Amino acid sequence: MTSRRCRDFVRPLATLGVVLAALPLATLGVTAVAAQQPLHVTVGFEGGFTRARSRATGTSELVSGAVFTGAATLARSRWRLRLDYGQGNLTADTGAAAARTLAEGRAQLGFVAAAWLTLWAGPRARSYASSGIRQRWWFWEVGAEARGMLFADRSYAFGALALAPAGTVDALPAFSRETGVAAGLAVRLPGPGPWARLAYRVDQTRLAGGRRETVEAISLGVAMELRSPR
């Protein structure tokens, strides 16, 4: 059972792995002109409560549970690359639903258009595994994230909008679109410590035939800037 579950996680994310490997190379190519700029690396970890609801004609399933995510962001000049991966078990909240394992990853390239605005684009993958059945979601997502400083270098609020105009879903009706929003608060812990982030996010995927898949999460995490590897 355990080995099957592992395979279920690994297979849908194989494609994401390729992207994860390719994006840093692309980023390095794009940022060749800024080669003299130092590279900043931020790593983080967050845990949160995730709730996923699936609605189709006449049926509704709700599962929820804790999901833990690791993330890394590479920054050089005005370019950003963020990679994250999260995994957790969701248990059924309604009688018809089956418990499932959620694995989700993201590899996106960002451009800092203004001090307060970063534009993101890249793939996002999600996998549900339940009773040996694996369902893979794949989105090509673009988004914008805005920040507003509350206390200089101590706290900021952020909000993000995302849209996936294209994507694929295994064993389900054709992908229509996905929209998402995220917002939250980041506070630097005392001293030059890590950033603590409280965030809420929700995204909804619409499939042909009126089916909707909505995933919400409230998370709390920390992120820390590492020294430049130069």
Partner 1 sequence: MRGGRALLLLLASLGVTALVGARAAAAQSGTDLMRQAVRAYQDLDLDVAAGLIRRAIAFEGPAALARSERATAFMYLTTVELLRSRPDSARSAARRLVLVDPRYRPDALTFPPQAIALFTGVRRATPAVTARAAADTQFRPGGEALAVRLYASAYHAIRARVTREDGRGLRALYVGPIGDSLDLRWDGLDSTGAAVPRGRYALTVVSTDSAGHVVRELRLPLEVTPVTRDTQPLPPPPLFRPERTPMGPALRVLAPATLVGVGTVVLPSVVAGGEDHARGRFVVGGAVTIAGIAAFFAHHPARAIPENVAANQRLRDQWTGQRTQIAADNARHRGELRFAVKSGDPVIITPEGP
Q: How far is the CB of 15 from partner 1 (least distance, A)?
A: 25
**Binding status of residue 151 toward partner 1 by CB under 8 A:** yes
Out of 43, 72, 144, 181, name the contact with partner 1 by CB under 8 A: 181
Out of 161, 196, 222, 224, name the contact with partner 1 by CB under 8 A: 161
Instruction: Give the span between the Cα atoms of 129 and 169, in whole angstroms.
Output: 13
Q: Which two tokens stand for residue 180?
A: 């998402």
CB atoms within 10 A of CB 36: 8
Beta bridge partners of 103: 87, 127
Stretch that binds partner 1, among 24-32, 75-83, 95-103, 147-155 (CB under 8 A): 147-155
For 85, phi then psi, to 5°, come to -145, 135
**Binding status of residue 176 toward partner 1 by CB under 8 A:** no
Nearest to 62 by CA among 26, 95, 24: 95
- Indicate the residue type of 23: L
**Binding status of residue 222 toward partner 1 by CB under 8 A:** no
Which residues of this protein are in contact with partner 1, per CB under 8 A? 49, 51, 53, 55, 116, 146-151, 155, 157-159, 161, 179-181, 183-185, 187, 198-200, 202-204, 212, 214, 216, 218
